Amino acid sequence: MGPPVDPVPAGDSQPKSADVVIVGGGIIGVSAALFLARKGISVVVCEKGHVAGEQSSRNWGWCRRMGRDPRELPLIVEALKMWGGIEELVGEDVGFRRTGILYLCQDESDVEHHAEWVRRAGDYALDSKMIEGRALADLMPGAQKTFRAALHTPSDGRAEPQKAAPAIARAAQRAGARILLRCAVREIETEAGRVSGVVTENGPIRASTVVVAGGAWSSHLCRSVGIRLPQLAVRSSVMRTGPVEGGPDGAAWTEGFAYRKRLDGGYTIADGTISYHHVNPDSFRYFTDFLPILSREWRSIGLRFGDFLGGPFGLSPRLEGEGSVYERHRTLDPEPAVAPLEAARANMEKVFPVLKGVPTLQRWAGFIDATPDAVPVISPVKSLPGLVIATGFSGHGFGIGPAAGRLTADIVTGDTPLVAPTAFRYERFIDGTRHRPTTGV
Ligand SMILES: Cc1cc2nc3c(=O)[nH]c(=O)nc-3n(C[C@H](O)[C@H](O)[C@H](O)COP(=O)(O)OP(=O)(O)OC[C@H]3O[C@@H](n4cnc5c(N)ncnc54)[C@H](O)[C@@H]3O)c2cc1C
């Protein structure tokens, strides 16, 4: 089971038509809905389960500029400004705190790797810098191990994933958006070569624009209208502890463990290095697209076999007599990888003995929606007018989420975009562009 998520009022009824239908009530879908509704657009979000039931409540909660692919830097800078004013935007505290984030270096090659990011980020590096000695020790109260150095960004922070997307969704509702829960979109409809609406499990909704913000499901949905979107699902696991007295207040990653302090006083802990891909038909369909990233990242991806056709992404989206695969899997809830989580906790305990005896309250996992270059698609689709894709956030869409939603809304309405959207264009995956992932963690 995933962590308990703040509720969003159900009860919005399904309209016959809207200007825009958004498929997916994760942080991207509900943020796009908020900004569209604030522009006076009639917008409906269809969520097959509950808001933030999948990745958007299961993530670490890091809101970071540090370590980002240069293509994402302008958008994450805007996102962090938005997080700074999130309470005003949504009318409640969702736990955003600028507690800083550390990438801890164990040796010289780590130092060189992170220092290289600072050089590459140029002006976008802002307050990110390499620190060591006393400056680093002060940020790790109670640490029993000295790290060689760290990349530190004091202005990065964290928010509570179980609160943020639901609060944005409620704000979107207040602004006029309709959010339909337990409402799977079975198909996107087209007419005369353009999008004309969707068919949900409760019937059709006509709309001239459909935004696909379906997380790990987006590729399946796009395929049903002949759009090839290379995307693979990667399972990543997390645990949370009970409250801890003392210990560091911020977040950190190093080989062997990653942590961040939660608003409830506990820690969210993860291994942060290893994730798993469950081999399914998409693995072969998109093999060549992912070859460059796989050849670089193969040590951090474990392959799992079995259930080739029976897993969530193995089936054809339509199920005879049972509606669709989206109803069968209302909320993706993969098994967490317990051994790597326990090892991560043990590694963290060695550094912070204050964790000893603190109970582990829960473990869970989520499926990340990875693209071949680890950069999202936030883009119209030239070959199918009316279709807009906002997906493929590749394990770092929570922090960038509010700004990605705003950019999606700008693209839908044709307003001046929050940032230049060129780097996120869909066509890079079909026009022969070579994919060069450049992100670190
Ligand atoms: C373990 C883990 C740790 C992470 N840590 C971080 C982090 O620290 N910082 C960070 O920035 N990011 C992190 N991420 C990534 C981040 O969580 C995601 O990038 C982000 O939540 C993606 O949001 P989304 O709205 O695109 O997708 P999702 O949250 O997955 O939402 C998609 C929604 O679409 C719905 N849907 C799909 N198909 C249909 C359909 N046909 N009809 C109706 N509804 C449909 C699904 O039910 C789902 O609710 C992490 C992810 C995981 C799994």
Cα angle for residues 305, 327, 368 (degrees, 5° grid)? 45
Dump pLDDT digits (tens) for 304-355. Answer: 888 777 788 886 666 656 689 999 999 999 999 999 999 999 999 999 999 9
Q: What is the pLDDT of residues 396-437, one digit of tens each?
A: 999 999 999 999 999 999 999 999 999 999 999 998 887 766
Give domain limits for the chain.
Answer: 20-429
- Ligand 1 centroid to 304 CA: how many Å? 21
* CA-closest residue to ligand 1 atom 41: 185
Output the pLDDT for position 441. Answer: 37
Rounded to whole angstroms, the Cα distance separating 407 from 384 reads 19
Determine the residue of 56, 221, 394 to mutate for testing ligand 1's pocket, defined as the one with the most ligand atoms within 8 A of the Cβ atom.
Answer: 56
Predicted TM-score (pTM) of the model is: 0.97
Q: Is the CB of 248 under 6 A from ligand 1?
A: no
Full strand arrangement of the beta sheet holding 387-391: 178-180, 43-46, 20-23, 209-212, 387-391, 377-380
Q: Do residues 60 and 399 make contact, with C-beta atoms less than 8 angstroms apart?
A: no
Are 155 and 62 a contacting pair, CB within 8 Å?
A: no
Evaluated on CA atoms 302, 303, 307, 309, the torsion sign reads positive
| pLDDT for the residue numbered 53 | 98
CB of 25 within 6 A of ligand 1: the answer is yes
Read off φ and ψ for residue 312, nearest 5 degrees. Answer: -60, -35
Quick: pLDDT tens for 146-156. Answer: 999 999 999 99
Low-confidence ranges of the chain (pLDDT < 70): 315-322, 436-441
Q: Ligand 1 within 6 A of 317 CB? A: no
Only one residue has tokens 């958004």, namely: 22
CATH architecture of 20-429: 3-Layer(bba) Sandwich (3.50)
Nearest Cα to Cα of residue 332 among 367, 304, 364: 367
**Tokens encoding 94:** 């969702």
DSSP-derived 3-state class of residue 265: coil
Is 267 in a helix, a strand, or coil?
A: strand
The pLDDT of residue 273: 86
Q: Tokens 């498929």, residue? A: 23
